[in-house]
Amino acid sequence: MNKIWLVPIWIVQVFSQSKSFTKNKVIGNVWLNRAGLHVLRLVLSHSVMRARMLLVSYNIAPDIKRAYFRDGFIVIPDFLSQSEFVRLDNEIRHADAEVRECTQGDTLTHRIMLDDNTLPNMPECTATLNRRDFTKLNRFASGSFSRPIAYIQTIKNHYIDGPPDPQKNLHSDTFHPTTKSWFFFDDVSERNGPFTYVPGSHRLTLKRLAWEYRKSISVSNDGDRYSANGSFRITDADAKAMDLAPPKAFAVAANTLVIANTHGFHCRGNASERSSRTELWTISRSNPFSPFPGIDHPLVTRVQNKAVGWWRRHLDKKAENRGAVSSWHIIAARNTVEDTEQHVTDRIEHSDTRTHTEGASLPSGSRTPATAYYSQSRMAR
């Protein structure tokens, strides 16, 4: 082992949200996983996160609490009043901010980060993020007082030529409970790829633990790129082995808020045509082994957002030194909804620069069964 000096760091990372079986040779050690390391991390992290969620759930209605623990998601239609929705919708459609793009298969994702640089010019976004009902639901779901990282995001399905989008395979984001939320500005249906979730798949059943145990050994040996990075993909056979329910596609109206525990299996649903959906999207991920439920303070939020901004610029620089662009690179757009047709055309003509593209390398063996599993699902509403 020529990276022996990294071993102490890898050991410390076992008790953090680190999830990569390839980058961390302790987490990815096949013998340790045969001895149950991965399963132990699951059980411990889920226990701590459950305690944290209960701790911060004092002001959550019992039926919402029960539904989230049972299903792994909350759906709230008509989250804003009509006038609030119209003002917010108008603001994000006319935003003038830095936009970053990621290409995954044939899908483009455009994002504006909602931070100190953008929020001063976006009062409606600020008001939404500060709403008491929004913060308390996110707190409960993430087991943390800390604010989530927030973006305006547009997913543009089939906007470029490419293999299928790997985010359209059912997967678990990581080994521990973790939270994402979507507040939709568009009506969502099969047309523009509804968020899709397997109800109850966030729970640690014995069958799930047995599957996680087998999977941790197989990815320690040789897994597809995404599973080896700690986001386990599932096949039809896996779903059967775990007795999972059919996936539910969230065909919802604009002005609906969805919050989900993305340890549960989920994906971007398939879109039947070239189409897009725009959302206010948040992510909350903290150390699942820490019993400390974070702090809600503007300074903490600022430091968190600055760290993300610094990391993005670092990756930009690194990619630039290789003569490439980073996976989340800045594009010439003012907001996520404007037509970037010309920009896309330019980039296709210079497709040799697409070294950043994520997702083109998922082995078809792991993609096809998961897609087949998805395709058996019905639109649930």
Contacts with Fe ion, residue ranges (CB under 5 A)? 173
Shortest distance, CB of residue 262 to Fe ion, whole angstroms? 5
Q: What is the DSSP string of 106-161?
A: TEEEEEEE-STTTGGG-HHHHHHHT-HHHHHHHHHHHT-SSPPEEEEEEEEET-SS
Q: Is the dihedral of CA 344, 345, 349, 350 positive or negative?
A: negative
In the bound state with Fe ion, the residue whose beta carbon lies nearer, of 173 and 238, is: 173
238 and 211 Cβ atoms separated by less than 8 Å: yes
Rounded to 10 degrees, what is the CA torsion of 22, 320, 324, 20? 10
* Cβ neighbours of 321 (radius 10 Å): 8
Shortest distance, CB of residue 166 to Fe ion, whole angstroms? 10
Shortest distance, CB of residue 167 to Fe ion, whole angstroms? 6
Rounded Cα–Cα distance for residues 379 and 381 (Å): 6
In the bound state with Fe ion, the residue whose beta carbon lies nearer, of 156 and 171, is: 171
254 and 90 Cβ atoms separated by less than 8 Å: no
Shortest distance, CB of residue 96 to Fe ion, whole angstroms? 29
Angle ∠(300,306,312) on CA atoms, nearest 5: 140
In the bound state with Fe ion, the residue whose beta carbon lies nearer, of 104 and 276, is: 104
In the bound state with Fe ion, the residue whose beta carbon lies nearer, of 44 and 283, is: 283
Shortest distance, CB of residue 334 to Fe ion, whole angstroms? 27
* Cβ neighbours of 356 (radius 10 Å): 17
In the bound state with Fe ion, the residue whose beta carbon lies nearer, of 101 and 173, is: 173
Q: For Fe ion, which residue has the nearest CB?
A: 173
Shortest distance, CB of residue 286 to Fe ion, whole angstroms? 17
In the bound state with Fe ion, the residue whose beta carbon lies nearer, of 162 and 359, is: 359
Shortest distance, CB of residue 102 to Fe ion, whole angstroms? 13
187 and 250 Cβ atoms separated by less than 8 Å: no
Enumerate residues 6+ apart whose C-beta is below 8 A from 368: none
Encoded tokens for 210:
């047995």
In the bound state with Fe ion, the residue whose beta carbon lies nearer, of 158 and 268, is: 268
